[in-house]
Structure formats: structure tokens, C-alpha cells
Amino acid sequence: ADDGYRLWLKYDKVKNETKRKAYAARLANIEVKLEQDPTLVVILEELKMASQGMLGITPKVSKTLAATLYGVTLEISTIADKKPEAYEIKTINKHSVIQANTTQGLLYGTFAFIQLLQQEESITSLDIKSSPKIQLRMLNHWDNNNGTIERGYAGMSMWKWYELPERIDPRYIAYARSNASIGINGTVLNNVNASARFITSEYLGKVKALADVYRPYHIKVYMSVNFASPKIIGGLKTADPLDPEVRAWWKQKADEIYELIPDFGGFLVKANSEGEPGPMDYGRTHVDGANMLAEAMAPHHGLVIWRAFVYNADPNGDRFAAAYNEFKPFDGKFMSNVIIQVKNGPIDFQVREPISPLFGAMQKTPVSMEFQLTQEYLGWATHWVYEAPMFEENLQTDTYATGKGNTVADVIMGKTFNYPITSMVGVANTGSDRNWTGHPMAQANWFALGKLAWNPNNTSKQIAEEWVKLTFNTDAESQKTIVNLMLNSREIYVNYTNPLGLHHVMGESHHFGPEPWVSKAPRPDWTALYYHKADASGIGFDRTNTGSKTLQQYQPELRKLYENVDTCPLEYLLWFHHVAWDKKLSSGRTVWDEMVSRYYEGVKSVEKMQAEWAKVKGKVDEETFENVEARLKTQLKEALWWRDASVLYFQKFSQMPVAAPYQKPT
Ligand code: GCU
């Protein structure tokens, strides 16, 4: 049985005997043309594991290999692409040669080579060149020191702080391998709602132990920091960023960290957001706060990743506008080791968001992409949602920043404005569950983040195909079935939860299930009514010039796409327009009928998912099959809940009947 622990690095025996023998011949020897190095150790270990598992052989390692013998050559040499992480894989006579400028490049090349074998590709005439398009490819863990995970649905934190630094759980190594295999090179260990405790000397010793484990895999460690740390753990009276003692405290803290962890990545900061402390508590700005930390980190080449997830609790305002309004005026004012981390959309990881207007707006200060892998608003770990199509939708949106042809992908790759630092982040969906992500299919979202950070123009389809091949050692027909299920899963979820561009109508606080009726919460912009604005006249948030005007934050060409109610893509309709219930849409249906039909079709699609999944019974391992089968039952139950709750609630305002085909109960 497979319990999912090995993720996409299963290394199961290659079933086709001819292929297996051919591979085995070509992997019989490994020629090492480089100096001893901790990364070389893990590369050789990985090749050994892969060969033993897939081919049943243990390659012979030597410093030279005769041209007459088959083997894999690992070589550090100057390759055409000068990036430190680049690699080439070539077939030269009888040798499969993996070359790179650094051992880090060699590590990625080795995984790419192994993945070819896993996918049963031919390796007889290889000519592959690759390098990442984004520099920082990171996971952000929202893990707390008591072991809980904010918005985590796959168990507890995998970091056992009470056992560290003495005990290294083998899972830390499995985590490092998995990340390295998809090119991830950074990890933020703790929650953005940060406990100051993480940067006490006690905890830094533990963090150092983890950094030591991850170093050979070229995964740098970063920490989320609490802006008020000088007060909370430093005994100072203030955390004012312009106070000399505060500045000295952070400098000393940075020195302490780098003494222990010379390659520490940097700080991630959530400041003046959702009640977290920040420079504005002292009448200062984001720039004052970020630059103060950046100054402390600069001598060590450390980064400050400052989040733009900010908004004010104004009942009549538009949360959509907040990040742009707060950050755009500071473009160019941040030190060069600061990067602004922006969520994909303007609100908060909803099932579909238009892009954040900050992409394309910040010309002199680099912005980076924060996606959420953990399914906070996407059905937690019970609903099957492959997220890459959602990421792709945002990445491929044209910002028109300097004219046509400047997609979000271009912006975050640094192409549009020549950013000196580039980054893509996924808020992790991992936990202590044996299979890491709770829903077995959610492993694909972690995988997709790595692949998109390597190249944001990779397609969700390519990535799904690759993941399925690596994860399920099964026939082509079954693989196709699973890929199709994946590719449709997100739109199905949208349909039965938030059709037509509805957003933020989920349960208050826990963010699970439907609660479009929520009108009171600790903040007005945490209610559902604030967003859907349903009343007798219609539904949706008018963000055009007759409403909040926030569409103006986009370039005119992008604005045009959404501004006209008659041409706005239906997927975004209620994001930008308040429309009458009986307005006729391009689909030929009224707004009400279209909404209802999407809720109902969404539920039917889950039934179809069940039928499709049934086809792979006996084709994927029993444990995964049953796990997914059971979760689909829960998903169907909850899709019905979403549909019925939403339709009944909105019907109070529309006062219109449910169309005939949907009147029979399912
Ligand atoms: C969401 C989420 C919070 C999280 C916040 C953030 O609002 O619900 O739990 O802290 O995002 O990204 O900072």
C-alpha cells in the first residue's frame, strides 16, 4: 500500500522490463567530476535511492568512467547559462551527462534526470537546458510554536520545537528532498502572525539545527518576525523604527542570527495588518519599518520581505483598494534588499480573484507573488481543488504595465521593470499528516508551486500531467482520467460556492462552508454582506465609476476588460458590478437563472467527479483510491450544503423561482 508519504518521489519499480533493463544499463555507473561537497552527498544518495527503487541496482561510483562504459556523469563546469542554478543534461556517447555551474544546479539537474526515468521517458539522446525564471521560490509556513498551524488542515506542524535542536526528525529530510526536487529554495518556518519567541536565543538554536539540515538541499531558512519584538522580548519601551535603541536592537539581533546561520534568508513581516504591530503604531510608515530592518540585514545580505496584505475596517470603503493605496506612494522608497510580497488578488485568496493592482504598479520596488496552497477558502482538505489553473489565470493576466504584453508572470519574473529580486511564494498546505497534505490530491498544489516558481509560464496542464505520472505508476488512460479531474476541479468548486464572481461569502472566522448572511463580525470587512451587497435591486459590488471606483487602480486597458457590465467576463461579473436579478446575460439567462444553474451544475459535476474517480479503482493504489473516494462523498454533501444555503438565501432578495430543471431535489 502507498500511504502518500513519498509524494512524487516514489521511485517504484519501472514495470516495463525492457525499459527497466535499458535504464539499469545506463545507470550502472556514476562518474563524479567535482570536489567533495555536502550537496554531492545528497545527490549521490538520491541517485542511489532512485536506482535501487526503480531499477533494482546500485550504481558504482567512481572518479573516472571509461567512454566505452555506460553511466551518469556529474560535472561542475561553466555552462552556457551562467545562472548559478542552471543545469544541462546531455547524452554524450554512452554517458548521460549532468552539468552545472554549481552543486545547486547539479542538484536540480539530478532531480530532473530522475524525473525523466520516473516518467519513463527515453534517455538515449538527451539535450536539456534549464534554469529558474524566479530567484526565490519559497514556501511560507504559518506554523506556531505550540504546534498548531494557522489555516492548516493536514495535522499539526511538522517542526517539533520541543525536540529541537537535539533531535532531527527524518521528516525534515524528506521535506528538504521533496522541495529540492521541484526547485524550492527557501522556507519561512513560522506564522506571519508571528510570535516574538521565535527569535529568542533559545529558538534561534533550534532554527540553526533546521538550517543545517536544509543547507545541503539549498533551502534557505527565513523567519516571520513580530515587529514589536524589541518590546516583547527585548525589554525596550518601544518598537518605534526611528528610535536609536530599537534600531540597535534589531542590528544586534541580525548579527546574532547570522553568527549562527551565515546563509539565513531573511525576515518576513506582516505589519499593521489584522491587528499585528507595525511602524504605524508610532506614526511611522511601511518604509520606515521595512528600511529599519533592511539596514540591520544589509551587512549580511539578508532580505526583508514586507507583506502588502493590509486593509482598513471601513464599512463604506472598499477593501480592494487598500494595498494599492498604502503601497503605491512608496514605490522606490524602500532599500534595495526589500521586496514587497503581494497576494495574488486584492482581497484574500478567494476562489477567484482578479489580479492585485499592485502587479504592474510598482516600478522601482520589486513585488513578489504570494499564492495560498492551503485551502483556506477552497474547502480545506476535504474538497478536491487543483489550484494551478487558478494561479495560471492570474499569472497570465496582462497588467498592461508598460503596454500590451506585460503579464503578471512577466512582472514577477522582473522582465517588465528589471526587478533585482524576484520571488514566488506558496503558503504551505503541509502538516504532520502521514501524506503531508491531508487530501492526497492536494500534494499536486505543492508540486505546482515549485514548477510555476521555476517557470511561471508553465501550464497547469503540463504540471498536472507530470505530477500524475510521477505520483501514480499506472496506465495512460487512468492518468488521463486523473488529469482531467484535476483540471476541472477548481471551476467546479467555484460553481457550487461562488458563481459569477461572488467572493467572501464563506463562514465567518473559520472560513468553511456558506454563510452569505453574515452581517456582523469583529470588522465590517469580515462580513459577507460587505461583499455581495445583495438586495431587492440586485447583487454584486460595483467597483466602476458609479461605485467604489477601484477599477481605476488598473491600467486603462485592463480596466476596460471589466468595466462594461455587458462585456465583463461572467467569471468576474459580481466582482465589479451590481446587477439586477433579471438582467439578461451573454449566456441568454438572467443573472438569477445563471447563478442558480451554476450552483446546480456545480453539484452535478461533483457527482461526475465521483463517477470518473470510480474508473481508476484498481489502477491506483487502494489506499489513495479509498481516501479520495471518501473525501468526494464529503465534498458532494458539502456542495449540496453550499448550493441550497446560497440559493435559498439569495432567493429572499431575488424573489424569483428556481428554474424548472433544477426544481427536483437531488
Ligand atoms: C487570511 C487568513 C489569516 C491570515 C491572513 C494573512 O486573512 O484568514 O489567518 O493571518 O490571511 O495572510 O496574514
Which domains does the chain carry? 17-129 (3.30.379.10), 136-459 (3.20.20.80), 494-662 (3.90.1330.10)
Mutate to test the pocket of ligand 1, among 270, 319, 348 (most ligand atoms within 8 A of CB): 348
Please give the pLDDT value at position 2.
75
* ipTM entry: 0.99
Number of C-beta neighbours around residue 53 at 10 A = 16
Report how far residue 382's alpha carbon sits from residue 439's, in angstroms, rounded to the nearest whole number: 6
Q: Which residues of the chain have pLDDT under 50?
A: none
Q: Which atom of ligand 1 approaches the CA of 151 most closely?
A: 9
CA dist 442 → 61, 111, 177, 419, 460 (Å): 37, 21, 18, 32, 14
DSSP conformation class of 539: B
**Does ligand 1 have an atom closer than 6 angstroms to the CB of 623?**
no
Q: Which pLDDT score is estimated for 329?
A: 98
Assess whether the previous peptide bond of 241 is cis (omega < 30° from 0). no
Spatial CB neighbours of 452, under 8 Å, sequence gap ≥ 6? 388, 391, 392, 395, 424, 458, 463
Residue closest via CA to ligand 1's atom 2 equals 151
| Nearest C-alpha neighbor of 528 from the set 509, 547, 551, 546 | 509
Residue 75 has, within 13 A of its CA and on its CB side, a CA count of: 18
How far apart CA 486 and CA 482 sit, in angstroms, is 6
3-state SS track over 581-605: CCCECCCCCEHHHHHHHHHHHHHHH
Atom number of ligand 1 nearest to Cα 370: 12
Atom of ligand 1 nearest to the CA of 191: 10
In the chain, the amino acid numbered 299 is: P
pLDDT at 665: 63
Q: Do 330 and 412 form a contact (C-beta atoms < 8 A)? A: no
* Best of 274, 305, 311, 511 for a ligand 1 pocket test (most atoms within 8 Å of beta carbon): 274
Protein residue whose Cα sits closest to atom 1 of ligand 1: 348
DSSP output for 611-659: HHHHTTTTTS-HHHHHHHHHHHHHHHHHHHHHHHHHHHHHHHHH--PPP
Q: Is the CB of 577 under 6 A from ligand 1?
A: no
| CA distances, 470 to each of 45, 86, 118, 340 (Å) | 19, 22, 6, 34
Residue 129: Cβ-neighbour burial (10 angstroms; 0-12, 13-18, 19+): middle
Q: Which ligand 1 atom is the nearest neighbour of the CA of 511?
A: 8
What's the pLDDT score for residue 408? 99
Distances (CA, A) of 486 to 381, 384, 644: 15, 8, 25
Question: Which residue has a Cα nearest atom 7 of ligand 1?
Answer: 348
Ligand 1, residue 427: give the atom nearest the CA.
Answer: 12
476 Cβ partners below 8 Å, 6+ apart? none
H/E element, 62: strand 60-62
pLDDT of residue 664: 74
Q: What is the DSSP letter of 401?
A: B
Q: How far does the centroid of ligand 1 lie from the alpha carbon of residue 309, in Å?
A: 9
Q: Which of 225, 204, 141 lies closest to 175 in space, CA to CA? A: 141
CA pair distance 301, 337, nearest whole angstrom: 8
Buried b (16+ CB within 10 A) or exposed e, 577-616: bbbebebebeeebbbbbbbbbbbbbbbbbbeebeeebeeb
3-class DSSP assignment, residue 429: coil
Q: Which of 143, 149, 150 to mutate to test the pocket of ligand 1 (most atoms within 8 A of CB)?
A: 150
Q: What is the CA(273)–ligand 1 centre distance, in A?
A: 9
Beta-carbon count within 10 A of 185 CB: 24
The CA 429 to ligand 1 mean position distance, Å, reads 14
Task: Report the alpha-carbon distance of residue 121 to residue 97 in Å, rounded.
Answer: 16
Across 150-171, b (16+ Cβ under 10 Å) vs e yields ebbbbbbbbbbbeebbeeeeeb
- Please indicate whether residue 392, judged by its CB atom, sits closer than 6 Å to ligand 1: no
**Ligand 1 near 150 CB (within 6 A):** yes
Whether 220 and 265 have beta carbons less than 8 Å apart is answered as yes
**Pocket of ligand 1 contains residue 347 by CB under 6 Å:** no
Ligand 1 pocket member 151 (CB < 6 A): yes
Burial state string for 563-574 with b = 16 or more CB within 10 A and e = fewer than 16: bebeebebebbb
Residue 630: how many CB atoms within 10 A of its CB? 11
DSSP H/E element including 48? helix 38-50
Residue closest via CA to ligand 1's atom 10 equals 193
pLDDT given at position 312: 87
Q: At what angle do helices 170-181 and 443-454 cross, to 10 degrees?
A: 50
What are the cell numbers at 44? 549521490
Element (H, E) at 95: strand 95-100
Pocket test for ligand 1, best of 305, 376, 504, 509 (most atoms within 8 A of CB): 376
Just list the catalytic residues: 274, 348, 376
Do the strands 95-100 and 136-140 form a parallel or antiparallel pair, or are they unpaired? unpaired
**What burial class does residue 274 get, using C-beta atoms within 10 Å of its C-beta: 0-12 exposed, 13-18 middle, 19+ buried?**
middle
Q: Does the beta carbon of 192 lie inside 6 Å of ligand 1?
A: yes
In short, whether 644's Cβ falls inside 6 Å of ligand 1 is no
CA dihedral 530, 535, 540, 546 (to 10 degrees): -90
Task: Calculate how far, in angstroms, residue 101's C-alpha sits from the geometric centre of ligand 1.
Answer: 39
**Which residues, at least 6 apart from 94, have a Cβ–Cβ distance to it below 8 Å?**
26, 67, 68, 69, 70, 71
Please, is 536 exposed, middle or buried when counting C-beta atoms within 10 Å of its C-beta (0-12, 13-18, 19+)? exposed
The pLDDT of residue 223? 98
Buried b (16+ CB within 10 A) or exposed e, 420-455: ebbbbbbbbbbbbbebbbbbbbbbbbbbbbbbbbbb
Pocket flag, ligand 1, residue 348 (CB < 6 Å): yes
Cell of 520: 456582523
Q: To 10 degrees, what angle do helices 443-454 and 460-471 make?
A: 130
Distance, in Å, from the CA atom of 454 to the CA atom of 507, rounded to the nearest integer, reads: 35
The answer for residues whose C-beta is within 8 angstroms of residue 124's C-beta and 6 or more apart is 91
